[in-house]
C-alpha cells in the first residue's frame, strides 16, 4: 500500500480558490488544535451521517482502527471519529495500533522528510488483525504518508484489507 492508496475523505480543510478554511476545516482546527468538544461532536455527527447514508461504504465485519496521536499532543478527535464510524457500521473500534514516540508535526515538514518522521514515531500493531478487514481512520491527510505506513503494518500483521479514511484533506503537501 506504499504507493498512495485511495483514501476516502469527508471534505477539505482549505477552500480551493483562497487561503481560507472551509467550515469543516474550521471544525477540525477547533477540535484538533483547541480540543473543542463541541467541534468534535459536530465532526462525529457528520462522519456518522456519512457512513450511515452510504456515502462511505465499509465492510460489514470490519474493525475500525484510529491512527494514534503523538504522545506529547493528545488528540481525542481520531478516537471519537473511529467510534462514530464503528457505531454507524455496527462494527467495533479496536485500539490495534500504538505509537511509541513523539515526533514533529508532519504539516511542518517538506514532503520528502515525512516518511522518516513517520517511521521514527514507532507505530506498532498490538492486537490480532489477521484475516480482518480494517478501516483505518486519521484526522487530516496531507500526502497519505502516515496512513500508508500504518496500513502496511496492518497488512504485514495479516489484515485481509485496509481501507484508509480521513476527516479532511489539506491542500498543503
Averaged pLDDT of the chain: 90
Q: 133: number of CA atoms within 13 Å, CB side?
A: 10
Local confidence band at 1 (pLDDT 50, 70, 90 cut-offs): very low
32-41 mean pLDDT: 93
**Burial of 46 by CB count in 10 Å (0-12 exposed, 13-18 middle, 19+ buried)?**
middle
Q: What is the DSSP string of 1-65?
A: --S----EEEEESB-SSSS-B-HHHHHHHHHHHS--HHHHHHHHHHHHHHHHTTSS---TT-EEE
* Single pTM value for the model: 0.92
Local confidence band at 173 (pLDDT 50, 70, 90 cut-offs): very low
Task: Give residue 105's pLDDT.
Answer: 83
SS3 144: coil
The rounded distance, in Å, linking the Cα atoms of 110 and 70 is 19
Q: How does pLDDT run across 3-18, given as a tens digit for each residue?
A: 556 899 999 999 989 8
125-133 mean pLDDT: 97
Pairing of strands 133-141, 63-66: parallel
pLDDT at 130 over 80: yes
Percent of all residues in the chain with a pLDDT value above 70, rounded to a whole number = 95
134-151 mean pLDDT: 93
Amino acid at each position: 500500500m506504499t504507493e498512495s492508496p485511495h483514501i476516502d475523505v469527508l471534505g477539505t480543510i482549505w477552500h480551493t480558490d483562497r487561503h481560507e478554511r472551509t467550515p469543516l476545516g474550521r471544525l477540525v482546527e477547533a477540535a484538533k488544535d483547541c480540543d473543542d468538544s463541541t467541534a468534535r461532536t459536530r465532526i462525529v455527527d457528520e462522519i456518522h451521517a456519512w457512513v450511515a447514508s452510504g456515502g462511505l461504504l465499509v465492510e460489514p465485519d470490519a474493525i475500525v482502527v484510529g491512527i494514534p496521536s503523538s504522545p506529547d499532543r493528545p488528540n481525542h478527535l481520531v478516537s471519537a471519529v473511529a467510534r462514530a464510524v464503528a457505531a454507524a457500521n455496527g462494527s467495533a473500534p479496536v485500539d490495534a495500533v500504538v505509537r511509541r514516540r513523539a515526533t514533529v508535526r508532519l504539516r511542518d515538514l517538506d514532503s520528502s522528510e515525512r516518511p522518516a518522521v513517520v517511521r521514527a514515531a514507532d507505530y506498532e500493531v498490538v492486537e490480532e488483525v489477521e484475516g480482518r478487514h480494517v478501516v483505518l481512520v486519521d484526522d487530516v491527510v496531507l500526502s497519505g504518508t502516515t496512513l500508508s505506513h500504518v496500513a502496511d503494518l496492518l497488512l504485514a500483521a495479516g489484515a485481509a484489507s485496509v481501507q484508509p479514511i480521513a476527516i479532511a484533506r489539506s491542500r498543503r503537501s
